[in-house]
A and B are shown apart, each in its own frame.
Chain A
Amino acid sequence: MRVAQCCQSRTCHELPKPACCGTETSCTRPGIWECGMAGSLASSCVRVDPRSLSGAVSEPMHLLPCQIQREGAANVKGYFAPAVKDREGGKEVSFRGRTLKGQEVSVPSGYMGVVLREDQKPCSEEEDRLFTVKSTFRSFTQWNLETPPSADDVLIMSLIWPKIAAAIHAPVE
Chain B
Amino acid sequence: MELEEFERDNSQNRLLSSPVPEICRTEDCCLGIDEAGRGPVLGPMVYGICYCPVARKKDLQDLKVADSKTLSEAERERLFEKLNSTSDYIGWALHILSPNIISTSMQQRAKYNLNALSHDTAIGLIQFALDAGVQLKEVFLDTVGPAEKYQDKLKKIFPELDVTVRPKADSLFPVVSAASICAKVARDRVVKEWKFVEDLGDPDAEYGSGYPNDPKTKDWLSRHLDPVFGYPQFVRFSWSTTQTILGNKAAPVSWGDEDDDSGGKSSTPSVLSFFSAPKDASQPQSHRFFQERNLKPLLEF
A-side residues, CB < 8 A to B, are 1, 46, 65-70, 74-75, 77-83, 85, 94-99, 118, 129, 145-146, 154, 157-158, 161, 164
| Contacts of B194-252 to chain A: CB distance below 8 A | 197-200, 226-230, 232-233, 236-238, 242, 246, 251-252
Nearest 5 CB-CB pairings of A with B: A97-B237, A97-B103, A70-B251, A158-B293, A79-B229
- List residues of chain B with CB within 8 A of the CB of A99: 104, 108
Is B274 part of the contact surface with A, judged by Cβ < 8 Å?
no
Is B257 part of the contact surface with A, judged by Cβ < 8 Å?
yes
Interchain Cβ contacts under 8 Å between A and B, 21 examples: A67-B253, A68-B253, A70-B227, A70-B251, A77-B199, A78-B198, A78-B229, A83-B198, A94-B11, A94-B100, A94-B104, A95-B229, A96-B246, A97-B100, A97-B236, A98-B107, A129-B301, A145-B257, A146-B108, A146-B109, A158-B293
Q: Which of A79, A96, A158 contacts B198 (CB 8 A)?
A: A79
- CB-based contact A78/B200 at 8 Å: yes
- List residues of chain A with CB within 8 A of the CB of B106: 97
- List residues of chain A with CB within 8 A of the CB of B275: none
- List residues of chain B with CB within 8 A of the CB of A85: 9, 11
B-side residues, CB < 8 A to A, are 9, 11, 100, 103-104, 106-109, 197-200, 226-230, 232-233, 236-238, 242, 246, 251-257, 289, 292-295, 300-301
- CB-based contact B229/A75 at 8 Å: yes
Tell me the complex Cα distance, A157–B257, Å.
22
- CB-based contact A66/B229 at 8 Å: no
- CB-based contact B252/A69 at 8 Å: yes
Tell me the complex Cα distance, A80–B197, Å.
9
Closest to A95 in B: B229
- List residues of chain B with CB within 8 A of the CB of A98: 103-104, 107-108, 237, 255
Apart from A77-B199, A78-B199, A79-B198, list 9 A-B contacts with CB within 8 A.
A66-B256, A75-B229, A83-B197, A83-B198, A96-B246, A97-B237, A98-B108, A98-B255, A146-B108
- CB-based contact A79/B253 at 8 Å: no
Closest to A46 in B: B301
**Max count, chain B CB within 10 A of own CB: residue among A1, A79, A146:** A79
- CB-based contact A79/B200 at 8 Å: yes
- List residues of chain B with CB within 8 A of the CB of A80: 229
- CB-based contact A1/B300 at 8 Å: yes
With A97-B104, A97-B237, A98-B107 as contacts: A82 and B197 at CB distance below 8 Å: yes
Tell me the complex Cα distance, A145–B106, Å.
14
